[in-house]
Amino acid sequence: MESRADIAEAAASADPDVGLRAVAALRVLTERLEILQVDNARRLGWSWQDIAARLGVTKQTVHRKHGRRTGRLG
């Protein structure tokens, strides 16, 4: 595990290795949060249309990504 000082230094550097890894990790984090939030919204009875509007994508996109899984949740 890196120390706080190491991390601060990494953040301050313009090293593409650090920056690109951070972008990739953010993308994964976003995907994971989307799963949690979509599951929660479906459980609360939100429509695919409403979920898609908040995510800024089409209803088809969100349904294709999550429909199969959350279909089981009712």
Smallest distance, other proteins to C-beta of residue 61, A: 16
Given 7, 50, 53, 64, the residue binding other proteins (CB under 8 A)? 7
Given 5, 14, 36, 44, the residue binding other proteins (CB under 8 A)? 36
Query: Does 53 contact other proteins by CB under 8 A?
Result: no
Burial bucket for residue 62 (CB in 10 Å: 0-12, 13-18, 19+): buried
38 Cβ contact partners less than 8 Å away, ≥ 6 residues apart: 51, 62, 65, 66, 70
Given 5, 14, 16, 28, the residue binding other proteins (CB under 8 A)? 28
